[in-house]
């Protein structure tokens, strides 16, 4: 009974993670991801409390465990910049591995938990789709802060605040309903109404990743679907594509703005610019990469060879991110293992439950080729559960039997670290607001205010300290190196300029010129010209800056 309560509460928190409406910098989706991780912890705890069943763990979960260990190895070797990146990567990957275990156990059992998971995802997707529809119709004001507000002409966002993520969630919700339909938990009419309802907000996201996912899922279901007939699948996919073309005209007719037209949806220059920059950065460190979560470092390195004006924290392609983090050989090995697993399971799948689970994984896989949904805990938790379900119905799954006491021993540090991270981040979020007001010279920070002491989230703590730093002559090498590390870790123009100014004021004009070239390649000509103007003004009180300006 206690195990059931843990699992019910875990599913509730996980469902709420898709609906959380708090999005504040510097970690915009922290509140949603914290709910997802808390839900995952409860789901694992609930599974451990079922003592009469051995813990069987599919071997594919070991890949996540190995990657979690490698994050620490890269940091220990001095490749990664901050221990907190290794910590966060390992927590996320351990969560993924744990959810593979839970999903596998649910798939092998005769209990109601797979159905409960499907209902949770379907309800979260349905509510998110309704929110997206209200956003398109500009009818969200009565809901106040509980629904993410949007402007006329915006795409449907859901409470995640991101159209592409909403599109992927809606498709995963449809896959959840497909599971309930294939296992005869609901009839064809209810299933059809649900799919039709979610199709409209799916189209309103105007997400190219979602449209590509629709095509991939349709092809998959035409080959592997069982209760689904081919004609309805083809009709659904065709209607999605036709509506995607028609929505801009319909929106304009209803005076709701045109949103994205077909021409805008066909543009790929931005993605190509990102990929070219990251590839150029990978070329500067091809063997070992830059450390886990260090795509901004590859961005800075590549900007010297492929200039642009877009800033980003991920490469918008999971394979490029892996290569930027770990180097080309290891990155390709990880990507190859995951790709082999997905293709082999698609070929071998027979069970309708596994078909639905793979249909839920496909939009995440497609989306990860053009963005970074894999970086969000709420997608990782669901992906782990679905991978476990697929493995439960695969005939040749290799498993390892885990000792319950060892898994229980891991939960305590996991829970303590997670709780402390939440405690630290709430302080960081508040201090980030204070720092922004200080930099904008709005108001006066109270004299008694003390910046929080951050330990686990060291990269964010260093970012806050760097944001308060004022470049000046006589800075220590440690202070300058702190600015350097933060500039490499965060793709924010102000941090890069602080580092460049610190070099200019402390006898390193060549380094300052090099850093300003990085600024030019990352943020574009307008930002670069503004930086040059600031340097001219800085030169009036600091003649040493002239040695930099003469080289620009």
pLDDT value at position 332? 97
Q: What is the mean pLDDT of the chain?
A: 92
- 333 pLDDT band, cuts 50/70/90, is very high
The DSSP element (H or E) to which 353 belongs, if any, is helix 352-367
Q: 292 and 69 in contact (C-beta within 8 Å)?
A: no
548 pLDDT higher than 90: no
pLDDT value at position 267? 67
pLDDT value at position 520? 95
387 pLDDT higher than 80: yes
**Alpha-carbon gap, residue 377 to 34, rounded angstroms:** 8
Q: Which residue has the tokens 């730093």?
A: 469
Please state the rounded mean pLDDT for residues 42-63.
88
- State how far the alpha carbon of 263 is from the alpha carbons of 215, 217, 247, in Å: 19, 24, 13
Query: 400 - beta bridge partners?
Result: 57
- pLDDT (tens digit per residue) in 274-292: 999 999 999 999 999 999 9
**Alpha-carbon gap, residue 527 to 311, rounded angstroms:** 12
pLDDT value at position 109? 86
Return the SS3 of 401: strand
154 pLDDT higher than 90: no
pLDDT value at position 259? 63
- pLDDT (tens digit per residue) in 465-515: 999 999 999 999 999 999 999 999 999 999 999 999 999 999 899 999 999
Sequence-distant (6+) residues with CB within 8 A of 135 are 147, 148, 149, 150, 154, 156, 157, 158
pLDDT value at position 264? 59
Neighbours of 352 (CB within 10 A): 20
- Phi first, then psi: give them for residue 400, nearest 5 degrees: -125, 135
35 pLDDT higher than 90: yes
242 class by beta-carbon count within 10 Å (0-12 exposed, 13-18 middle, 19+ buried)? exposed
Tally of residues, the chain: 552
382 pLDDT higher than 80: yes
Neighbours of 548 (CB within 10 A): 25
Where are the chain's structural domains?
117-266, 469-549
- 265 pLDDT band, cuts 50/70/90, is low
The DSSP element (H or E) to which 254 belongs, if any, is none
- Alpha carbon of residue 530 to chain centroid: 32
* E-only strand ranges, 281-412: 399-402
**Alpha-carbon gap, residue 136 to 130, rounded angstroms:** 10
pLDDT value at position 2? 84
- 53 pLDDT band, cuts 50/70/90, is confident
Please state the rounded mean pLDDT for residues 374-379.
97
- 438 pLDDT band, cuts 50/70/90, is confident
551 pLDDT higher than 90: no
pLDDT value at position 260? 60
Share of the chain above pLDDT 90, in %: 75
**Alpha-carbon gap, residue 511 to 548, rounded angstroms:** 9
Q: Between these two residues, 540 and 383, which has the higher pLDDT value?
A: 383
Q: 542 and 473 in contact (C-beta within 8 Å)?
A: yes
Sequence-distant (6+) residues with CB within 8 A of 107 are 114, 353, 388, 389, 390, 391, 392, 393
Sequence-distant (6+) residues with CB within 8 A of 24 are 30, 429
């Amino acid at each position: 009974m206690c195990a059931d309560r843990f699992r019910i509460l875990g599913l509730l928190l996980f469902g709420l993670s898709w609906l959380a409406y708090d999005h504040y910098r510097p970690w915009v989706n922290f509140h949603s991801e914290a709910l997802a991780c808390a839900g995952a912890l409860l789901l694992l705890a609930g599974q451990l409390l079922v003592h009469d069943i051995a813990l069987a763990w599919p071997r594919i979960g070991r890949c996540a465990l190995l990657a979690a260990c490698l994050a620490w190895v890269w940091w220990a070797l001095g490749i990664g910049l901050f221990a907190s990146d290794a910590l966060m990567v390992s927590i996320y990957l351990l969560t993924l591995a744990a959810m593979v275990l839970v999903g596998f156990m649910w798939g092998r059992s005769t209990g109601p938990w797979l159905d409960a998971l499907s209902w949770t995802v379907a309800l979260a997707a349905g509510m998110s789709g309704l929110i997206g529809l209200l956003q398109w119709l500009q009818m969200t004001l009565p809901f106040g802060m509980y629904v993410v507000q949007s402007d006329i002409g915006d795409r449907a966002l859901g409470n995640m605040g991101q159209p592409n993520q909403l599109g992927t969630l809606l498709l995963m919700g449809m896959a959840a309903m497909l599971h309930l339909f294939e296992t005869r938990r609901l009839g064809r009419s209810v299933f059809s109404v649900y799919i039709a309802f979610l199709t409209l907000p799916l189209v309103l996201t105007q997400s190219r990743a979602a449209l590509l996912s629709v095509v991939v899922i349709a092809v998959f279901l035409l080959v592997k679907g069982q209760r689904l007939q081919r004609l309805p699948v083809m009709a659904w996919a065709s209607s999605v594509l036709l509506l995607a073309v028609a929505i801009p005209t319909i929106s304009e007719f209803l005076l709701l703005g045109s949103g994205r037209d077909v021409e805008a949806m066909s543009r790929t220059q931005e993605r190509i610019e990102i990929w070219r920059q990251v590839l150029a950065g990978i070329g500067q460190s091809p063997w070992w990469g830059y450390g886990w979560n260090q795509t901004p470092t590859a961005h800075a390195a590549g900007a010297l060879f492929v200039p642009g004006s877009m800033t980003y924290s991920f490469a918008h392609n999971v394979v490029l991110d892996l290569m930027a983090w770990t180097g080309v050989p290891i990155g390709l090995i990880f990507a190859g293992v995951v790709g082999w697993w997905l293709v082999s399971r698609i070929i071998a799948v027979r069970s309708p439950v596994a078909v639905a689970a793979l249909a839920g994984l496909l939009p995440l896989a497609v989306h990860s080729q053009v963005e970074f949904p894999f970086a969000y805990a709420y997608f990782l938790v669901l992906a782990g559960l679905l991978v476990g379900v697929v493995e439960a119905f695969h005939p040749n799954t290799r498993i390892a039997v885990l000792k319950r006491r060892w898994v229980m021993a891991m939960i305590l540090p996991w829970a303590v670290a997670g709780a402390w991270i939440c405690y630290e981040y709430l302080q960081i979020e508040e201090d980030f607001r204070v720092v922004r007001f200080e930099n904008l010279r709005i108001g006066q920070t109270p004299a008694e205010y003390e910046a929080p002491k951050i330990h686990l989230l060291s990269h964010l703590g260093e970012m806050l300290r760097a944001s308060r730093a004022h470049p000046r002559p006589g800075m220590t090498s440690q202070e300058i190196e702190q600015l350097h590390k933060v500039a490499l870790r965060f793709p924010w123009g102000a941090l890069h300029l602080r580092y460049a100014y610190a070099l200019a004021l402390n006898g390193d004009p060549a380094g300052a010129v090099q850093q300003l070239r990085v600024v030019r390649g990352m943020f574009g000509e307008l930002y670069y010209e503004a930086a040059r103007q600031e340097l001219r003004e800085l030169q009036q009180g600091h003649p040493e800056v002239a040695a930099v300006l003469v080289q620009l």
